[in-house]
Structure 1
Amino acid sequence: MLATISSWGNSLALRVPKDILNELDLSVGDRVKMSVVDKKIILEPQKLQRKKYNIKELVKKVPKDYKPHEEISDKMGLEVW
């Protein structure tokens, strides 16, 4: 597959075809590591690994004696009390 280097502001850009993005499971905003090996451009997806949370496990970590703090202040704007 051929691509063309284009001008993008003061830089140059290379448009990545949708087929390649789909194959690499990449979309707008994803980060890639870019390097040159033997005069070839190598792009490697750098997906963030985020921990998956479970609400029941998170609630178990809340201390039994926890009391939420409620702060009430004077009017600061056009609130109606």
Structure 2
Amino acid sequence: MSENQAPRPELPDHLSVDPRSPHHVAAVFEHDIGIRFNGKERHDVEEYCISEGWIKVPAGKTLDRKGRPLCIKLKGQVEAFYR
């Protein structure tokens, strides 16, 4: 980390990429985040909860009536980290 970068905030237990969500933390998204689910890195995660052990990912190209991706919840071991 270079000297002019701000310290990274701690990753929350529950985080969402949707800015309208109460679990969205904008300061975290200023850095590159990685999600490892069941030992494999995922790049399509919309929301996660480490303590409950789930992630939400888009279900193909399906959209809901408001034009947002329709998500499905997958259960397993979740790990969030900074790249």
TM-score (norm 2): 0.22
Q: Larger % of strand: which? A: 2
Specify which structure has the bigger relative contact order, considering alpha-carbon pairs within 8 angstroms and separated by 6 or more residues: 2
Q: TM-score, normalised by structure 1?
A: 0.22
Instruction: Say which one has the larger Rg.
Output: 1
